[in-house]
Structure 1
Amino acid sequence: MKTYVLTVFTKTGEKLLDESFTAENNDEAKKIGEARLAEEGLSEHTHRCVSPEAKMILFHR
């Protein structure tokens, strides 16, 4: 399992969500990240999900 980081920001740069979670691979992490954003109602805010190798696997601006 790898640890991924999901971060969500307001337009002014304030962090609304900053959490880590584990997943088997990037595809699974993307699904988990998208589900978490939907749960919190944050899908339309600026967000990113980064892999342990610092690869951005999910991004919205």
Structure 2
Amino acid sequence: MKVYVLTAFAKDGAKLLEESFGAMTEAEAKQRGEEILQQNDITQTYRCTSSSGKLILFHA
């Protein structure tokens, strides 16, 4: 299982969310990241990266 980190930012650059979670595949990580964003009602800038630095989700 790989570790992924989801981070969301406010327009002023303040960190709104930083959450780590595990997933077996990138598709599973993308789905889990989208669920976390919906649960926290986040539509601002966000990114989700793998432990190797690969960008899985991004919105500016």
Q: Distance in 1 between matches of 2:19 and 2:59?
A: 17
Q: Which residue of 1 aligns with 2:53?
A: 54
* 4+ long deviations beyond 2 Å: none
Q: Which residue of 1 aligns with 2:17?
A: 17
The gaps in structure 1 that reach 5 residues or longer are none
Q: Distance in 2 between matches of 1:46 and 1:30?
A: 15
- RMSD of equivalent CA atoms: 0.5
How high is the TM-score relative to the length of structure 1?
Answer: 0.95
Q: Which residue of 1 aligns with 2:31?
A: 31
Q: Distance in 1 between matches of 2:34 and 2:47?
A: 10
**Identity level (%):** 52
How high is the TM-score relative to the length of structure 2?
Answer: 0.97
The gaps in structure 2 that reach 5 residues or longer are none
Q: Distance in 2 between matches of 1:40 and 1:26?
A: 21
Residues paired across the two proteins, number: 60
